[in-house]
Amino acid sequence: MEKQPLDKSRDLLRGQAGSTVSLVVLKQDGEIWSGVLTRTGMKTVDLDAVKDASAKGNTQTIPLARVRTQADATGSSEYSLIGLLQQGKVLDESSSISNEKVRAVYAKVSADPKLLQSTIGSMMELNQFDRNLISLSLSKSGLTKIQIFDATGVQVASWTIDANSGELSMPWNGKALGSGAYSLTISQGSSKTGFPVKLD
């Protein structure tokens, strides 16, 4: 996203509602952060049970079960209840609910539950890394790209392999590379996982 307008970069990171966005950050010290984000629609609703109690002058605390029952009933097949808020605080079993406004927070249920399943199913693990061997565990078969970057982010090695699921052992010659911190990334389709590695 370097040198792109801020609006375009933001839109790329946000993705479309219901879709996943893979994010990998390679830091200069060789550390790698990776994650998968799913954008979803959200809505909030002020609950009538609490408003009715307030209008009647009821100053007693209101049972959380009563509030949650109404919140569940207020939802729909498209939205799922994820929490209850009162005066900016998340309500739980230990909360004392006054007759102040309670707001229910809902998240839109993904139209395609296979999105999350496919993300979870794309697990890639690094078992061994040294100057002679790279060993991986893959949960899916398919084209797999393996890249090694030095501490400045420069790619120093790359392979693309049509790999089977399971363990993959790949001999290589890393003797030409200097000692120090590196980053190794494994990519299959839109899934990408990174690992900090070291050569002695």
Q: Which of 79, 108, 137 is the last residue of a domain?
A: 108
Does residue 123 share a domain with residue 146? yes
What pTM, to 2 d.p., does this model score? 0.44
Shared domain for 46 and 34, answered yes or no, is no
Mean pLDDT of the 73-101 span: 76
The pLDDT tens digits for 99-120 are 777 888 877 765 444 444 444 4
- The answer to the question of residue 13 being in a domain is no
Amino acid letter, residue 123: M
pLDDT surpassing 70 at residue 33: no
Model confidence pLDDT, tens digit, residues 118-157? 444 456 888 899 999 999 988 788 899 999 988 888 899 9
125 and 26 inside one domain? yes
The parent domain of residue 127 ranges over: 19-39+114-199
Q: Are residues 186 and 169 in the same domain?
A: yes
How far CA 122 is from CA of 15, 109, 178, 188, 191, in Å, comes to 19, 22, 32, 8, 7
pLDDT of residue 145: 92
Number of domains composing the chain: 2
Q: Are residues 35 and 122 in the same domain?
A: yes
Q: 90 with 104, same domain?
A: yes
